[in-house]
Amino acid sequence: AQSVTQPDIHITVSEGASLELRCNYSYGATPYLFWYVQSPGQGLQLLLKYFSGDTLVQGIKGFEAEFKRSQSSFNLRKPSVHWSDAAEYFCAVGARAGGGNKLTFGTGTQLKVEL
């Protein structure tokens, strides 16, 4: 079964500083990987996804993530954080096989941005 671990429950960074959110996955083959962001009381917005090809993926809002097979990781990065980036971030893994394409989410990382 697939699983996702987000080791950091909370992260606080200063506005303008760089950001890296960690994500490790467990899956028997090359997975589909996603990062979503959730603002309080709202649904999830897709930041970026990895299906295949270039292991460095560019997303919206200046985010990027790098798929590292050897480390089973898909860490999210942003070179300069804005106060509006404060939110909950979820990493998710999707199964390749089968028609369900179910997503398994990590427990999330709450990002706080200090002005």
Total residues contacting another protein by CB under 8 A comes to 24
Q: Is residue 41 near another protein by the rule CB under 8 A?
A: yes
CA 48 centroid distance within chain: 8
The residue among 97 and 115 lying less far from another protein, judged by its C-beta, is 97
Q: Which positions from 44 through 103 interact with another protein, judged by CB under 8 A?
A: 44-46, 49, 51, 90, 94, 96, 99-103
- Name the minimum Å distance from CB 58 to another protein: 15
Residue type at 50 in one-letter notation:
Y
Measuring CA to CA, which residue among 96, 79, 109, 114 is closest to residue 2? 96
The contact set with another protein (CB under 8 A) reads: 32, 34, 36, 41-46, 49, 51, 90, 94, 96, 99-108
